[in-house]
Chain A
Amino acid sequence: MRVVIADDAPLIREGVARLLAENDVEVVGQAGDADALLAAVRDQRPDVALVDVRMPPTHTSEGLRAAAEIRAKYPDTAVLVLSQHLEPKFAFRLFEERPERTGYLLKERVGRVEQLLDAIQRVAAGECVVDRAVVDELLARRRQVDPLESLTPREREILALIAEGRSNQGICQALWLSPKTVETHIRNAFAKLGIREAPEDNRRVLAVLAYLSG
């Protein structure tokens, strides 16, 4: 696994690089801004680019723009955006063009090495990764008529995992359930909510996120 890290804070950049190196992830480049990041991706063609949202010069959403550019120019490089903002809208912006090989993770997850590695591996494998806190925020919304209340706790749990971008296999592993059981739960939950089954996992993530934020 080859990774490029972009963050304007050298301390965080170095720390994450060491953390990843200790877990057999090869850090092939570090960048302090979007231009350096794009250059590193062009030269190294890493499997994954870890991108901070706020970078010079404006410290607003440079990272999101750089992520979109990387996904458009280098389809083989996955992008995991690390964001200070718990705003589902920013995640949608990131996924709307190409949900595959893309992830939106809260910045503080970098200290949880197992969560960071999991996300890196999943985006590298082609999945779409959504931070659990973003999904929780969408699930927590109060509705006047809430179809989510018709879900069983198990179905609700599975729906959240789908929204996080998990594949059926990933859900099986997370919940210790058989593929058949998981498929049944998904079918039932989608039928209750009126969500159409998407032909492909990453489209399914978008459909569920759109449902939850609608």
Chain B
Amino acid sequence: MTAPAPHVGRDPVLLLPVAVAAGLAVGALGLDADEPGARIVIDLALVWTLTAAALVTLERPRWQQASWLVVAAAVAVLGADLVWATSSTLWTTGFLLEQVWVALLACLVLTFPGRRAWSRLAQLAVAAAFVVALGGQALGALFDTDTRDVLSVSPDAGVAHAIDRGQELAGGAIALLVLFLVLRRLQALGGAGLRSQGPFFVATASTIVVGLVWLGAVIASDSSRPTLETLGRAVCISLPIALVGGVLWSRLRRADASDLVVELPAEAAITLRERLARALDDPTLEVVYRIGDGTYVDADGRHVAFPRTGDRALTPVKVAGDEVAVLVHDPALLDEPALVESVRAAAALVLENERLAAEVRSQLAEVRASRGRIVAAADDERRRIERDLHDGAQQRLVSLSVALGLEGARNPAATSTLARAQDEVEEAIAELRELARGIHPTLLRDEGLQAAVEALARRAPFPVALNGTLSERLPQAIELAAYYVVSEALTNVVKHAGATEATVVLAQSRDALRLTVSDDGVGGASVVADGGLAGLHDRLEALGATLAIESAAGHGTTVHAEFPCAS
């Protein structure tokens, strides 16, 4: 289930008897030296719980370094207790190692659960912890008054005491920094990460608080307070316990998760992503689907950039050897491969279905985009034709009109003929103008939908009331489509409705343009549906717009159109 750590040569369980034996040996030294029994018991308890916790946490591939740091801390506690020995060499070794276990724990905390310190600041704190722990003791050894101190060069109780105080103050400052970093880390944790790492960080924070109280008491009373120190070590036992607690909590969760996975198809109301996020307890979980052309889309069929960079972990899901989806999740989930595997296995088929749906949505979006392009191309063409009519045929007719005018001034005899010709030319120009306006409304382009609809209302052969004002211009495609809807609806009223009046309502909200054209005519939906409105289908589809026609016989006809637009 878990990959063996590369640097474990033998079964790590062997650590346990070694720790027991070493602990008992050191404990014997303490008894010999008449150390308080409570202190000896607490130290051994700390060493053994650390060792036991390391054996549990070693199962997690990403926790290897942390586990070995825990073992190292256990060894360092025993090393520090060598000061109980009568031998000068052992005592001096113990003296030098006295604070190392604390520095190792600081290192464990600030790298947990990975291999590197969380940040530059964390790196700095780890380095400072080792400097204060090792350097302080080495310096103290030069002045210590104990006769077993082989390093002593000038025994001086005052200097030794001053070095102790300095070390305590520096240690306190580092502890505060670590506390700050841990609390910030704790705040950022969520889901699986919180479950597996949260207990350890909470224990760390409370241990630091107790440690700071102890430091405060020591400094205030200017004594070493051995009872309080023993109590502080007892509190440290919470750290290995919390480590194991995190692992156990995650396992408990795994049982829950398989239940959730079993329920997957049952709860249709929430999306697959939400269900997976819940099963894996990772609210940041994303699911991307691999579609036919090898690109990736989300559940709505939108293309997503992939693979992503950054601090996300990727878990591909395969069905019959083909990748169908990729779960993009919190790397903390990598600590629970069994959980991810069970969810992946249970969800694979559902994901495959979802992938097919996403692929269809993606194709739909493609079709809609292509329809939009076709409509836009047709509009461009209409604009071009309108322009050609104005700048080509119409200009020539105006030119002809000028020529007729000139001829009339020179040839009074032909006045009546020329006047008739002039009338014909004016008529042709007017007809051409109507034609051009129908092909593409210049007014709409220059003055917007409101003005163009006003003009439509004005030209209708029956009264048309216009309600609502548009505060701003809308995208060109929406303005055109809305214009054509009003135009076609009014044309239908003229042709079929037998109406005496009509009302056009324009309403613009933050996310949509809604328009209504209603009349007091005879009603009858099929009549309207056969009209030009049906021809607007592609145009409206391309915009994601909706068109509804209400037309109960005898109650007039109402055309509703709604155009989504983000403004």
Contacts and interface: CB of A to CB of B under 8 A. Distances in A.
Interface string B381-400: 00000010011001101111
A111 B401 CA distance: 5
B65 interface: no
Contacts of B405: 15, 19, 110-113
B402 A85 contact: no
Interface in A59-111: 59-61, 84-90, 93, 107-108, 110-111
Nearest to B451: A89
A108 B402 CA distance: 8
Interface residues of B, number: 41
Interface range on chain A (Cβ under 8 Å from partner): 20 to 34
B443 A16 contact: no
A12 B387 contact: no
Contacts of A143: 463
B462 interface: yes
B176 interface: no
A25 to B, nearest CB: 13
A59 B433 contact: no
B443 A85 contact: yes
Nearest to A11: B399
Contacts of A18: 406
Nearest to B434: A86
Contact of A111 (B425, B430, B459): B425
A122 interface: no
A94 B502 CA distance: 31
Interface in B404-451: 404-406, 408-409, 422, 425-426, 429-430, 433, 436, 442-443, 445-447, 451
Overall SS of chain B's interface: helix
A66 B436 CA distance: 24
Contacts of A45: none
A9 interface: yes
Nearest to B429: A108
A143 B406 CA distance: 42
Contact of B446 (A19, A86, A90): A90
Contact of B463 (A19, A59, A110, A142): A142
Contacts of A16: 402
Contact of A12 (B390, B402, B426, B463): B402
Contacts of B408: 113
22 contacts: A9-B395, A15-B399, A18-B406, A19-B402, A54-B390, A59-B387, A61-B446, A84-B394, A86-B430, A89-B447, A90-B443, A93-B447, A108-B425, A108-B426, A108-B430, A110-B405, A111-B402, A112-B405, A141-B458, A142-B460, A144-B463, A144-B465
**Top 3 nearest A-B pairs by Cβ distance?**
A111-B401, A15-B402, A111-B405
Interface of B: 387, 390-391, 394-395, 397-406, 408-409, 422, 425-426, 429-430, 433, 436, 442-443, 445-447, 451, 454-455, 458-465, 501
